Structure 1
C-alpha cells in the first residue's frame, strides 16, 4: 500500500504511432521512381497517369506530394486545392485533361529540389503511385 504506479510516456507514443495517419512513399514498393533535372528559374512538368485500368472505372482523387507533404490535389469532379505556401504567385498549374495528367511548376528555386510523387485513387482500380526525384 502506499506504492504508486509510475506512468511513462512510452505507451502514449506507441498509441500515437498506431493511430496517426502517416503516409510515406516508399520507392520501389509504392511505385516507380524517375529522375528529372531542371534549371533554377525555369519550369518543370511532372506527369501522372490518371487513366483507369478499365472503361467502367474513373479516377476520383489525384494528389501530388513534395517530400511526402501534399502540395496539390484534385478531387473528381471539380474540387481543386494547392498548398498556398508552395504555390506562391500561382507557381502550380495542372492540366487535368491531358494524358498523362501534367503538373507544371514554374519559377524553380534550389529549394524545389526534392522527391515528388503522385497518388491517384480510382473508384474501382487499385491506387497508383509514381515518383520523380527532381534536381534543380
Structure 2
C-alpha cells in the first residue's frame, strides 16, 4: 500500500489521509484545521492529539475522556509550542491556533481524533512558514 501523502512520506500509518496546506507569516498567528465532527450525533469526542511528523510523541492534546469535552484538559509540549498553542473546538472544522509562528514551526502536523464509538480519524496539515523581511524595498 502506498504510504505517501502528496509527496510526503509517513511511516506512522499507512492509509489515505487528507493533506491540507496552510501558509503562515513568521510572527503571526496560524490556525491548523482538524475535523472533530461526528457522523453519529450520539457519539462523542474523547481525545484529540496533535503530532509533528518529525517527532514521535504528541505535542498537543485535548483530553475529554473523564469529563465533558467542552471542559477537556489541554496540554502543550513545552519544547514545541509551550503556551503559544490553543484549541478552538467551536470552529468548523475545529482548529489548533498557534501564536507567534516561528520558522522552526514549519512541518507536517497530524491531528488524531478518538471517538467513543466511531473510528479514529487522522488528518495532515503541511505548514509552510514565510519569513517576514522588515524594511525590504521592492
* 1:57 aligned partner: 43
- For residues 91 and 35 of structure 1, what CA distance do their matches in structure 2 show? 20
Which runs of structure 1 show a deviation greater than 6 angstroms over 4 or more consecutive aligned residues?
none
- Whether the 8 Å contact between 1:30 and 1:129 is mirrored in structure 2 is no
Paired residues, number:
111
Q: How does 1:88-99 map to 2 (within 5 A)?
A: 88=82, 90-99=83-92
- Alignment deviations for residues 19-53 of structure 1 (CA, whole Å, 9 cap, x no partner): xxxx8145xx2511111111111111011111111
- Whether the 8 Å contact between 2:33 and 2:125 is mirrored in structure 1 is no
Give secondary structure in 2 for the equivalent of 1:111. helix
Structure 1, unpaired ranges of 5+: 1-22
TM-score, normalisation: structure 1: 0.74
State the superposition RMSD in angstroms.
Answer: 1.7
* 1:17 aligned partner: none
Which is richer in helix?
1
- Higher deviation after alignment, 70-79 or 123-132: 70-79
- Alignment deviations for residues 82-102 of structure 1 (CA, whole Å, 9 cap, x no partner): 1111223x2101112333211
Give secondary structure in 2 for the equivalent of 1:31. coil
Give secondary structure in 1 for the equivalent of 2:25. coil
TM-score, normalisation: structure 2: 0.73
Q: How does 1:35-74 map to 2 (within 5 A)?
A: 35-67=21-53, 68=55, 69-74=57-62
- Whether the 8 Å contact between 1:60 and 1:75 is mirrored in structure 2 is yes
1:84 and 2:78 correspond: yes
Structure 2, unpaired ranges of 5+: 1-10, 130-138
* 1:126 aligned partner: 119
- Please tell me whether Structure 1 or Structure 2 has the larger radius of gyration of its CA atoms: 1
Give secondary structure in 2 for the equivalent of 1:38. strand
- Whether the 8 Å contact between 1:51 and 1:58 is mirrored in structure 2 is no
Which is richer in strand?
2
